[in-house]
Structure 1
């Protein structure tokens, strides 16, 4: 059986589709960097909130202080690194947030476990809010993998902390864990909506620089196949105005345009 060789037009369309997909991933990666910068500021604000609560409660354990300082340094370094990043790398945009996510949940869980270990009662509300804040960072990230990962890590974090505090089987734990799933679902929907809006605006802006708006809208709606070559029977009319050169030499620009419009 002889394999069918794709036509040059088909190959060109496939290459255009691949290039469009890669460009979309780069756009999302660039947007993810902007999102991570804002998430980094939110992380620093959350750490400051932890510090205020710790001081108000009079907690001054050396280990907790060290972890707080480590988390603060991590947050500041993350902000500085993200400010220097330029351009979007789709691969790094996938694994970089996973590292940040693991560090966030690990440090939050460690602080909760330390409280329980030192005789402090487990605070479901405080831990639920902290993990929910970290989960919200996934809104601006590139993949649903980040959303699912944040939900899983939040569930593990709360299970470990509440289990250490003897509240794993309480109705509050069931409510909070169910809330994580619902919140993750909403974050996932928002994540997709933000991505579609961001890529759509960037794509429309780029296409309208080189194509008529009607063509650009068709490409956005139907993808690269909108530019695929097609065969069609058409009629072309070539027309000329006899003596136009000599006629236009004795007319002003406005008169020439008026005559052409009438013609």
Structure 2
């Protein structure tokens, strides 16, 4: 159960308060329109049509109508100046519901007191409209308040005037209760769907799709920090600084958006998550938030897919007279800490650890080895059985005492290729 003092609960409450305030503004406008239409129906249509029954238009009735019109106008002005706030959203519908119920009940009672006539149908319809107003209310108890007040007003006036049998009153009350229950359930479902859509949209701005799906399904607790064995992929575009100098800022962004769109799609198609974009670089990982045994193999397959996609991109660039792109991709498998960082305003699901730094270092070695994809020995041992590669030996990387053994990733192993363990043995490992 979510605590009320958590940022997530506060955000949800503010979203509901905003929706409720918009709904109250609509109700205020409709209330005023309804009063004007009722005046037209009673004065011009009923009296003009020569109906035998018409409510007495005495001073008290005119004062009540004037007060209700004034209340309706004030409500519109006040609501237009209000800002969404959860506390105000809880009490704001209370005075308007009391005023609506009191006005229609008083009009029915005053008509009966002067003329002896009681129109149960008109009272039932007007109180039903008050109940219908609660469809835009903040919470279920607002619906309960409208249901109770409408039912109580109808039952009391029917009993006082002697125009309602037990059977008739109970039937109307059952109808009100059914309508109130339907409105409450609908409000709950629609409100829940609205919050989920808003939340998914907000999370999608900062988190990978797999992470968003996990949060929506299991809640925030599913993204508590964990320590897990993962495979990290780091890639960047070679000589990007020189390339970007020939483009204006808008063209640079357009180019990167197109390029990262293709590469991110490949990562997600291979069940990975794009952790972040770093200028012309991309950090992706496999094995989080859900653990899986084949994360190294999936990452290596994604690297080969990125190479193939780059060939397609370069073919189009050459046709347009543009220079081909070159990228470097480094992969490493190791233990990281994975979880959410950030406050209520902005979240980031990230991986932290030596494995991330080493993947970046391995990618940097692609330049000195003149290859586009390098894989650390740990990654190769976990997923290399399905691939063809070459052991390039040991290399020293910045910030690490031990040398790193790297392999060039050449492609998928076919039936005619020697198994990966034999390749390693032939290389002296």
Same fold by TM-score, threshold 0.5 exceeded? yes
Larger deviation, residues 143-152 vs 45-54:
45-54
Q: Is 1:129 aligned with 2:117?
A: no
Residues 230 and 158 of structure 1: CA distance in aligned 2, closer, same or farther (over 3 Å): same
1:100 partnered with 2:96: yes
Structure number with higher relative contact order (C-alpha < 8 Å, ≥ 6 residues apart): 1
C-alpha distance after superposition, 1:10-42 (max 9, x if no partner):
xxxx88982101110110000000111111122
Cα distance in 2 for partners of 1:260, 1:253 equals 17
- Between the two proteins, the alignment pairs up a number of residues equal to 244
Q: Could you tell me which of 69, 84, 95 is aligned with 2:81?
A: 84
Structure number with higher helix proportion: 1
Larger Rg: 2
- Cα distance 1:68–1:17, how it changes in 2: closer, same or farther (>3 A)? closer
The equivalent residue for 2:362 is: none
Task: Find the counterpart in structure 1 of residue 212 from structure 2.
Answer: 216
TM-score by length of 1: 0.82
2:244 counterpart of 1:256: no
**Cα-to-partner distance string for 1:184-226 (whole Å, 9 max, x where unaligned):** 1111111112211221222122212212233223222222113
Gaps of 5+ in 2: 47-53, 244-317, 329-370, 374-408, 411-429
Structure-to-structure mapping, 1:17-96, within 5 angstroms? 18-55=6-43, 56=46, 57=54, 59-86=56-83, 88-96=84-92
Shift in Å at residue 183 of structure 1?
A: 0.6
Q: Is the 8 A contact 2:56 2:115 kept in 1?
A: no
| Other structure's SS at 1:233 match | strand
What residue is the counterpart of 1:5 in the other structure? none
The CA distance in 2 between the partners of 1:16 and 1:217, in whole Å, is: 24
Match of 1:118, SS state, is helix
Deviation at 1:260, TM superposition (A): 5.2
Unaligned regions of 5+ residues in structure 1, if any?
1-13
In structure 2, the CA distance between the partners of 1:255 and 1:231, relative to structure 1 (3 Å rule), is closer
Contact 1:29–1:93, Cα closer than 8 Å, also in 2: yes
List structure 1 segments (4+ residues) > 4 angstroms apart after TM superposition: 14-17, 235-240, 257-263
Q: Given the two structures, how large is their TM-score scaled by the length of structure 2?
A: 0.52
Residue 4 of structure 1 corresponds to none
